[in-house]
Amino acid sequence: MLEFLQFFLIGISVSTFGSLVGAGGGFILTPVLLLLFPSHNSEIIAATSLFVVATNSISGTTAYLRLKRIDVKTGLIYGLAAFPFAILGTILTAKTDRSFYDLFLGTSLLLLCLSLFQGPPKPIALNSEEQANKKNLKEKRIVTRNGKEYHYFFYFKRGIWVSSGLGFLASFFGIGGGPLYVPTMIRFLRIPVHIATATSQFICFLASTTAVIAHTFQGNSKTMVGILIPLAIGAVLGGQIGARISEKVKSDMITKIFIILLGIIACRLLYQGINSFYN
């Protein structure tokens, strides 16, 4: 019972924050599970984390759809582009040594953390559709449930190619893609923060579900069944809570929380990877 409560609280905490920043929670859960279960293979950890990410993403996506903050068409296209590469990621995870996996993930999270210090870029201001076409941009207008309008231009085609690579990394690391998609959509594709976090949650749902199915066929989801249920229950609740809170939190505050937590986890994971490598 104590173990059930422990992992339920981990699930709800991770998923609340993951949904808040549009990252699905996998970027926190995977390192946490790596720290709690140092003897488990990387593919088992990744499969467990992705199952929880998928559950959280379903919950978060449902909440964001009600809030009308998801660019569904763009998210669906990006999710489909990531589909085959997400499957490839699950295969290569099983072939990676655990110490290298910890070091690789820790380094990647730290680099991601450092890249966010610059803050979100200013929206692209254009005066006409003709100018947008010249810059290979797509115009988008989204009105949320509370009446707030987001009118912006972004690099749509660029995102299709980027999504393929991110789908692989998200599946390989078992993080579902949120911490990769959110900063990429904000900085590289120039999508507003609140739309990026909501749409990222939708892409996380597509990519993580694909990866979970692939892991299931490979038999990687069986070992940690005991903790999947409390983590999944917590993930469902956390997904709803995070989406609700996000309406009341400023985008720069979301980014700051994201950077601090990501930096702490990355450093701890690097320490564990280095320690394991030399022992």
Nearest residue to 43 (alpha-carbon basis) of 19, 51, 164: 51
d(CA 208, CA 51): 7
- Domain range for 34: 2-278
* Residues 234-276: tens digit of each pLDDT: 877 876 777 677 667 666 666 677 677 777 777 877 777 777 6
- Domains held by the chain: number: 1
Q: What is the DSSP letter of 123?
A: P
pLDDT, one tens digit per residue, over 37-46 is 877 887 888 8
User: Is this prediction's pTM over 0.85?
Assistant: no
pLDDT confidence of residue 241:
79
Burial class (CB in 10 A: 0-12, 13-18, 19+), 124: middle
* pLDDT at residue 213 tops 90: no
As a whole number, mean pLDDT of residues 177-206 equals 82
* 141 DSSP β-pair partners: 151
Q: How far apart (Å, rounded) are the C-alpha atoms in residues 159 and 133?
A: 16
